[in-house]
Each structure stands twice: as structure tokens, then as C-alpha cells.
Structure 1
Amino acid sequence: MSTVSIIPIEEKVDVLKQKNVPVAKASKTQDYAMKFVSAALSNMAASGVSNPQDVIKVRQQLRTHLPGGQKNAFWSVGAEMARAEGVKSLMNGFTASMLREMFYSGLRLGGYEFFKDKYYAASNGALTREGITLKVLAAATAASLGSAIANPADLVKVRMQAYYPNGSPYKNTRHAFASIFREGIASSTGRGSPILAGLGALYKGVVPTIVRGVVLSASQICSYDQVKQTLKKNGVFEEGIQLHMTASLFAGLFCSITSNPVDVVKVRSMTDKTKQFHGVVHCIRTILVNEGPLAFYKGFGMCWGRLGTHTIVSFLAFERLRKLFGMDPM
């Protein structure tokens, strides 16, 4: 007859500590990693659903006629694209979009709670978890990192979604990356490294990209977190799909209002092959003088439609994946 020895959990932890095994740290690191994976997958799914809206939004934002001009409504642009370029054109930039979301949203949403924990610990209680300051700091840091790393994929996505009278110069995503890299080398003055010049071309528009990422994430993630927290605290909803849906609806509206102007500048900068703009400030001034302040809200209807859809799908999927992987709700 065999005997089974039962070792208390405290003794097991002591043994692991003696062997320098970071028990809590390992589980916490795994938790952050799973949040990154969940965020990347949920946002890739959301981006796939909203890709047609994203293409139409980019086309609207690139049109430079005066405010009030005709044929810039999203249905007109969409119908024109389907008629002239085929329905498949509404999925332009899909692969680049998936690549972008993997790094950009994996970091900005998946890293949000990582930075919240780090800032909270560093503040020694000066920043409260319920306060908006901690949330904005965490969202801004995660978004800055994600935007900077994913800029080349973002640039390729926008270039592939833009309109070209003589047909797209890009055969596929890989060809687009290579073409833009070669453009940078060709436009270099001969001073400095050609490799750096090529990489510089892939990082065109990185400043407005980071600004947009910070503005969008601070308004989207923080508003979702804040609205969800408020609704739960006041007993309006319990944790579940109704709460997630309501919070994501508010978040989609807030981030659309705040990010559309920056998005217009980002798209114009990224597609500026002729070097019409001499920097972000010059781009803003040119749009303002030539097209008026409302130009910064070109494509807003489709931006809201796209970001609203993206926000709802991404947060619902993110919360579901967290539950599937055994993590607490956001």
C-alpha cells in the first residue's frame, strides 16, 4: 500500500524561493504576455471587419477640394471605388493592417495595464487606480511605443489604400515595403547611410502617427476603462456583455472626435511623395489655409463608423479572450 505525502503550498513556495525561482513574477509576466496576445488578436479581428470603412476614410481624407464639395460622402466614395476598381479594392492594405495591429494594438492595449501597474507602484500611492491621471499616463506610454514600432506597417497600409489614377504601384505588401525603402535610398543626398535613408522613408509621418496613437488611446482605452468602472460602481451593470458593449460605444465616439484631425494630418503626411509639406506644422497650416478648419474632420462619418465598429469588436473580443485565458476582466 503506497502513501501519498501532502506538502503545504507555503512549503512549496519556500522551496522555490530558495532555488531563486520568481514564482509571482513568472505568473505576472505570463499574464502580461497573454494580455498582449489577446489585444493583438482582438484588434486584428476588429480591423479585418472594419477594413472597407478604413479604405473609404483614407480616400476621403486625401481629397483636397474645398469643404462642401460634392461626391466626398462615404457612400459616394465607396460606390465609386467598387465601380472603378472593383469590390476587392475595399480590402486594400488588409495584410499591412493585420501586421500593424499585431504590434500597434498588441502594445497599446495589451501594454496598458502593464504601465498602469508600473506607474502605480512607482508613485507609491500618489496615483490612484480610480483616477484618470494614471490611466492617461499608461495609455500614452503604451500607445507611443506601439505607434513608433508599427509605423512602417501603418505607412504601407495607407499607401496601399490611397488612390492612384494609373493603378497602384504596389503588387503586394512585401513589394510596398521594398518600394518605399528604395524610395528613401533614391531620395538620399549621398551623405550618410543608404540603409538609414531607406528606414527613414518607412518612418515618414511617425510624429503624427505617435500623436494620433496617444490621442486615440487616451480617449479610447481610458474612456472605456472609466465608463466601465463608473457603471459598475453605480450598479448600472454587472460585469458582462452589456457593460462591455455600453462602455465600448462611448469609447468609440470619444476617440473618433479626438483623433480625426490628427488622422487627416497623418494620412496627408504619409502619402506626400512630392514633399509638398515641410513637416507636420506646415501640413496643418496648408490644410487650414487651403481647405478651412472643417477639413480636419473630413471622413468623420466613416472614421466614427470604422472606429466605432473597431472599438466595439476589439473590446468585446478582448474581454472574451481574457475570460477564455483565465484572466480577470479589464
Structure 2
Amino acid sequence: MTSVPATLTVTPLEEKVSVVEEKTQDSQYALKFAGAAISNMASSAFCNPTDIVKVRQQLRTQTPGARGNAFWSVGVDMARTEGVLSLGGGISASMLRELVYSGIRMGTYEYFKDTLHDASNGALTREGLTLKITAASIAATIGSALANPADLVKVRMQAYYPNGSPYRNMRHAFASIWQDGAHKAVAAGASPMSGGLQALYRGVEATTIRGIVLSATQICSYDQIKQSLKKRGVMQEGVPLHFVASTFAGFFCSVTSNPVDVVKVRLMNDKTQQYKGAFDCVRQVMVNEGLFGFYKGFGMCWARLGTHTILTFLIYERIRYLFGIEAM
């Protein structure tokens, strides 16, 4: 009986190297997501007191600049009437929001940069702002939309209630908001499922726009400033460079995102349907409060977002170093 010789298939070395590199790159993207989520959660936990004061300021509709709306007045009043622990309100929802929102918007930024660069065959250069802004916008759009329910619950839990908060915890807040939307939908002859989802996705337009504006200025300015300072030989990779770049990034994103943040917070806390949508909210703020109405809470926004940005990038770069990933 004649034996048939076995056929030995040899995989070219280049293909093996390509597969290994692809797996390594995929694992790095996963670690970047984890690092982005951890760093943003840590920063948000530290900045929660300033965040809740900012939300309280943005929900007030009194004359812009009135003394009672100053961030120190709001903070002191909260501590005196609601207790110091009130400054930690909504922190559980904030952590969930950062896990989804920031994990995606910051953790997938470089994935979209690499993908778009390869898809354009290098036409979108890594040094150009077009690639950076496009990548940041795509990542922020996905992260903002998916995290909207957690963002809404955070705002509701941080709002002021004269008779005490109606929410016992984050889980109860989710359930209450869902049930309220479902009941209204049934009364209007619609599906309770659609009503619950609409309630949790209230203000998603403003949330997404804010996410894009914030990420395009925060992440891209940090990336661009780092790149420029290193290229000119002004600073080398390290903590001092990360601190300088993140300080500028924190200021820029505070200026650009505050107006959208005001609209987002108003819409999310609008239980009486005072606003028909984002554009109607913009119109009412402009008519009733003037242009400076969009910058209510800016001092606390800068204090919070500036500190948050610095801490986030310092922690994120350190986590990347510990994970064996090159600096951003």
C-alpha cells in the first residue's frame, strides 16, 4: 500500500509577525480603555464637590452675577443646610458615567486616529488637527450617547430638592425616571418601553454636542500642545510636560463646553417639560438671562474641569507607563 506524503503548510514569517503585532495592538487598545476609565473615575471622585456646586449654579435662573449664585455661596449653603456629605451627591452615577463616557471618548481616541490614518493612506497626517479632531469627535459621539442615562441620573441626584431628594440611591433613580417616562407614555397611548427610554435619554442632543466640543478641545489640545513642545525641544516627555499640556487643555475645554453644559443640565433636570428641546432651551436662556446665562457656573466649571483634566492626564499617562504603553 502506497503512503501519501503529508503536505506541510508553512506560514510565512511576515504573516506570523503581522498576527502577533495585531494581537498586541488590540490588547493595548483594551488597556488604553481601562486606563482612561480608571483615571477619569479617580478624577471625578476627587472633583465631585465642585461638580455638584456647578450643577446647582447652572439650574438657578436668577440674574446672572447675583451674589447668591456665587460658587462659594452655593457650596457653603449646601454644607450648612444639607450637610457636608451632600457635596458627595450623585457620585455613584458619576462613576458609572465616567466608566462608559470617558472610557470610550478617551480610551478609543487613538484607535480612531490609527484607523482613520490607515484608511486615508496617510492623507490625514498624525501631526494635523483634522485627524485629531475627527477621531475625538467620533469617540465622543459614541461615548456621550451611550452614557446619557447615567449622566441624566447624576444630574437628577445632584439637583436641589426643598423637601429632600426623591432618590434613595442610583438604582432607585434609574427605576424612578424610567417608570415616570413609562407612565406618561401609557397615558399618551404610547409604548411604556419607548417612554422609559425617552426619559433616560432626555437631553441626549446637548450631551452629545457637549461631549464632542469638550473632547475636541480637551484631548486634541493636550495632544497638540504636547507634540508642539516636544517638537520644538521646549520640554521632554515626563510629568512637567503632562502638567503644562493638561493645564492649558483644562482651560480651553472649560471655555468651549460651559454653554453647552448649561443647556444639557437644564434639559436633564426639566421634569415639567419647560423646554421643547435644546434649541428652545438656548432661546429661553438668551431671552431671560442674556448671553452670560450660558456661563453660569463657569468659575466652578473651570475649577472642576481644569482640576479634572490635569488629574486625568497625569494619572492616565502614569497608568500607560505601568502598562508598558508609550505616552499619549
CA contact (8 A) 1:120 1:134 kept: yes
What does 1:238-249 align with in structure 2 at a 5 Å threshold?
238-249=236-247
- Cα distance in 1 for partners of 2:15, 2:299 equals 56
- Cα distance in 1 for partners of 2:257, 2:270 equals 20
- Cα distance in 1 for partners of 2:14, 2:221 equals 41
1:157 matched to 2:154? The reply is yes
1:277 matched to 2:275? The reply is yes
- Which 4+ stretches in 1 moved above 3 angstroms? 12-18, 189-192
1:112 matched to 2:109? The reply is yes
SS of 2:165 mapped into structure 1: coil
Once the two structures are TM-superposed, the CA of residue 13 in structure 1 deviates from its matched residue by: 7.8
Corresponding residue number in structure 2 for 1:40:
37
Give the share of equivalent positions with the same residue, in percent: 62
- Cα distance in 1 for partners of 2:35, 2:123 equals 30
- Cα distance in 1 for partners of 2:141, 2:11 equals 38
- Cα distance in 2 for partners of 1:279, 1:210 equals 14
1:77 matched to 2:90? The reply is no
Corresponding residue number in structure 2 for 1:266:
264
Q: Report the residue type matching 1:164 in the other structure.
A: Y
Tell me how many residue pairs correspond in the alignment: 318
Once the two structures are TM-superposed, the CA of residue 191 in structure 1 deviates from its matched residue by: 3.5
- Cα distance in 2 for partners of 1:316, 1:235 equals 21
Corresponding residue number in structure 2 for 1:25:
22
1:51 matched to 2:53? The reply is no
Once the two structures are TM-superposed, the CA of residue 22 in structure 1 deviates from its matched residue by: 2.8
Corresponding residue number in structure 2 for 1:4:
none
Corresponding residue number in structure 2 for 1:230:
228
Once the two structures are TM-superposed, the CA of residue 25 in structure 1 deviates from its matched residue by: 1.6
Deviations 1:169-193 (A, max 9, x none): 0000000000000011011145342
SS of 1:109 mapped into structure 2: helix
* Structure 1: unaligned runs, 5 residues or longer: 1-11
Once the two structures are TM-superposed, the CA of residue 126 in structure 1 deviates from its matched residue by: 1.2
What does 1:62-73 align with in structure 2 at a 5 Å threshold?
62-73=59-70
Corresponding residue number in structure 2 for 1:143:
140
SS of 1:22 mapped into structure 2: helix
Once the two structures are TM-superposed, the CA of residue 42 in structure 1 deviates from its matched residue by: 0.3
- Cα distance in 1 for partners of 2:49, 2:150 equals 17
- Cα distance in 2 for partners of 1:274, 1:257 equals 29
Corresponding residue number in structure 2 for 1:97:
94
- Cα distance in 2 for partners of 1:231, 1:208 equals 34
Aligned-pair Cα RMSD in Å? 1.6
SS of 2:124 mapped into structure 1: coil
What does 1:274-313 align with in structure 2 at a 5 Å threshold?
274-313=272-311
Deviations 1:284-308 (A, max 9, x none): 0001001111000000000000000
Once the two structures are TM-superposed, the CA of residue 24 in structure 1 deviates from its matched residue by: 1.9
- Of residues 23-32 and 143-152 in structure 1, the stretch that sits farther from structure 2 once superposed is 23-32
Q: Report the residue type matching 1:222 in the other structure.
A: C
CA contact (8 A) 2:54 2:300 kept: yes
Deviations 1:99-123 (A, max 9, x none): 0000100000000000000111111
Q: Which residue, out of 170, 176, 182, partners 2:179?
A: 182
CA contact (8 A) 1:13 1:23 kept: no
- Cα distance in 2 for partners of 1:17, 1:117 equals 20
Deviations 1:132-156 (A, max 9, x none): 0000000000000000010000000
Once the two structures are TM-superposed, the CA of residue 74 in structure 1 deviates from its matched residue by: 0.7
Once the two structures are TM-superposed, the CA of residue 168 in structure 1 deviates from its matched residue by: 0.4
CA contact (8 A) 2:67 2:73 kept: no
Corresponding residue number in structure 1 for 2:167:
170
- Cα distance in 2 for partners of 1:296, 1:158 equals 17
Q: Report the residue type matching 2:62 in the other structure.
A: H
Q: Pick closer, same or farther for the CA change 1:274–1:234 going to 2, 3 Å.
A: same
Once the two structures are TM-superposed, the CA of residue 70 in structure 1 deviates from its matched residue by: 2.2
